[in-house]
Structure 1
Amino acid sequence: MRTRAVVRQAVADDAAAVAAVRRVVAPYKVMSTAAVRHLLTVQAPGERFLPLVAERDGEIVAWASAGLNVWTSEPGQAGLLIFVHPEHRGQGIGSELAERLHQHLTEVGAVRVRTFVQPEGLEFARNLGYDGTRQMHYAGVELTGLPEQPPTPDGIVLVPLDAVDPRAAYEADSIASLDEPSDSPLDAVEYDAWFEEIWKNPSVDKTLSVAAMAGDEVAAFTVVETAGDRMWSGMTGTIPPYRGKGLAKLVKSVALRKAAAAGLTSAYTSNDDANGPMLAINNWFGYRRVHTELCLLRTL
């Protein structure tokens, strides 16, 4: 008989084990050990972030987290994620993690919780009171045989993200994020929190990430995160005055080629089902869907 799993709060030293569980459960979600450690240690105080792990016989077999969304003007919005190793499912671990996290979110004032689940987890989530809203598609591409790079429009200069002033990058990111499909608008992103959580994320490779500059203004950008020989597109966006010029496709093309030249072999990304323009761009690059998750909501 297996010993009972023990749920406890996650700490920075759990990062490697948590990253390993994530890769087994969702290999299409690229996140390095360094990025997990950053996630565990860097949050805005207002998030009231609670990370948990379930441990059995000294081995971490599940990981979960929840916290308030402090990047939206809508009060009480929260997020929750649970990853249970396939060999340890059906034993109440996910239910215990969910109960602990829902209790925590209630105590810190959450009124609505968003989660993402794989199709096989839909029944479990619905039994907890979650209902569906959207789909999130995950896709990957091998970094060989990429299509020809589009031309650079007049007045645009392409630079690596490490050559961009972080304040300019923040302004472009916060503007572009307003149009991201979401249950709550990303309309309250503060610079200091963005700088700590995004700009200083150790998995972001600013030499591979690319910005299209129009003078001193970031017109478009793509953020590359890396883990081993794989890359993840953290965000690709164009601010409204420069849309319709193919800049998103251009910066992503440059970034993918730079990643291939740096020895990376595959790239992954995610897109909301409603984000038709970005889905079309990724299809042009040859991305092929590897998984679809369901975005679900629960009112507390």
Structure 2
Amino acid sequence: MTRLVAVRQAVGDDAEAVAAVRRAVYSYKAMSAAATRHVMTVAAPAERFLPLVAEVDGQVVGWGAAGLSVWTSEPGESHLTIFVHPDHRKQGIGSQLAERLHQHLTEVGAIRVRAFVHPDGLEFARNLGYDGARQMHFAGVELTSLPEPPETPAGIELRSFDEVDPRAAYTADTITALDEPTDAPMDSIEYDRWLAEIWDSPSMDKSLSIAAMAGDEMAAFTIVETDGDRMWSGMTGTIPAYRGRGLAKLVKSVALRRAAAAGITSAYTSNDDENGPMLAVNNWLGYRRVQTELGLLRTLDN
């Protein structure tokens, strides 16, 4: 039986269906329908963000999105994401999404496009011209048995994000982002865009996100994003002047305990191969690897 496949631009009302497909593909990630809608509707104009959905007989079964990377000073950087429900693969849906998105990126001046794929999607990506071997590891932990948090050092006060100035959080986030293992530096993050995309995102639970404050300065932090009874660690970082004092371990362990008390049962996170210190923290907390994705790069023909 021939099934009708349609690819169209996504709208906010697609968020629930897209989030459901995402959960089917990425059981180890947590993004609510509200957060999905936020991603669709709050992109910066300069990003030239294009979100697409693929429908089979009127049912959303795939997602594709691409845009220019506006948080780096490197010109021509872009990003692309595609996922298709497991029940609808090998039908050309991913290829249709990729064709539309690559055409869009070429039209808006992208030079390099980055994407992450499951190992079983590597051949598909290679056939589209992607290459590279960067590994991103994903891990999860059930919040039933957590180690005791380290002692809070003298001069440090723990606060939840609903008790801190967003400017302090922005400063800490942008400083630590410079050390994130990546092919393009995250060195051009404007405050207003950060406020709209990160601080005001419905995925961030400010009551569970924890900061280690040294006076008015945020020395370390961990951002918690929630989806029902699951959570995702959006970012954990320590600014250089306060490293080596165990603050990342402290804030993340406290955040997980507060999440467990709030009814969260499972936590997930990701780490680049090169981020040894954070891998050590997550291993101590009991995270166990559940998936590895491959970071790939394609140069576009303009």
TM superposition score normalised by structure 2: 0.99
Structure 1 counterpart SS, 2:258: helix
Structure 1 counterpart SS, 2:22: helix
**Aligned residue for 1:279?**
279
Preserved contact between residue 133 and residue 297 of structure 1 (Cα < 8 Å): no
Structure 2 counterpart SS, 1:294: strand
Preserved contact between residue 78 and residue 113 of structure 1 (Cα < 8 Å): yes
**Aligned residue for 2:183?**
183
1:151-190 to structure 2, matched below 5 A, reads 151-190=151-190
**Aligned residue for 1:38?**
38
**Aligned residue for 2:21?**
21
**Aligned residue for 1:192?**
192
Alpha-carbon deviation of 1:2? 3.2
**Aligned residue for 1:129?**
129
Alpha-carbon deviation of 1:93? 0.7
Deviation track 1:78-101 (CA, whole Å, cap 9, x = no partner) reads: 000100111111111100100000
**Aligned residue for 1:109?**
109
Alpha-carbon deviation of 1:56? 1.2
Q: How far, CA to CA, are the matches of 2:91 and 2:261 in structure 1?
A: 45
Alpha-carbon deviation of 1:57? 1.3
**Aligned residue for 2:266?**
266
Structure 2 counterpart SS, 1:179: coil
Deviation track 1:82-132 (CA, whole Å, cap 9, x = no partner) reads: 001111111111001000000000000000000000000000000000001
The 10-residue stretch of structure 1 (250-259 or 82-91) with the greater mean CA deviation from structure 2: 82-91
**Aligned residue for 2:205?**
205
Structure 1 counterpart SS, 2:178: helix
Query: What letter is aligned with 1:151?
Result: E
Q: How far, CA to CA, are the matches of 2:133 and 2:175 in structure 1?
A: 24
Query: What letter is aligned with 2:92?
Result: G
**Aligned residue for 2:247?**
247
Structure 1 counterpart SS, 2:296: strand
RMSD: 0.6
Q: Where in structure 1 are there 5+ consecutive unaligned residues?
A: none
Q: How far, CA to CA, are the matches of 1:110 and 1:164 in structure 2?
A: 37
Structure 1 counterpart SS, 2:206: coil
Query: What letter is aligned with 1:101?
Result: L
**Aligned residue for 1:237?**
237
Preserved contact between residue 142 and residue 267 of structure 1 (Cα < 8 Å): yes
**Aligned residue for 2:73?**
73
Q: How far, CA to CA, are the matches of 1:29 and 1:11 in structure 2?
A: 22
Aligned residues: 300
Q: How far, CA to CA, are the matches of 2:234 and 2:23 in structure 1?
A: 17
Alpha-carbon deviation of 1:133? 3.3
Q: How far, CA to CA, are the matches of 1:271 and 1:23 in structure 2?
A: 20
Q: Where in structure 2 are there 5+ consecutive unaligned residues?
A: none
Q: How far, CA to CA, are the matches of 1:284 and 1:81 in structure 2?
A: 31
The percent identity for this pair of structures is 75
Q: How far, CA to CA, are the matches of 2:288 and 2:217 in structure 1?
A: 33
Alpha-carbon deviation of 1:220? 0.2
Deviation track 1:212-247 (CA, whole Å, cap 9, x = no partner) reads: 000100000000000010000000000000000000
Q: How far, CA to CA, are the matches of 2:2 and 2:144 in structure 1?
A: 45
Query: What letter is aligned with 2:97?
Result: L
Preserved contact between residue 52 and residue 63 of structure 1 (Cα < 8 Å): yes
Preserved contact between residue 51 and residue 66 of structure 1 (Cα < 8 Å): yes
Structure 1 counterpart SS, 2:278: helix
**Aligned residue for 1:53?**
53
Q: Which runs of 4+ in 1 moved over 2 A?
A: none
**Aligned residue for 1:99?**
99
TM superposition score normalised by structure 1: 0.99
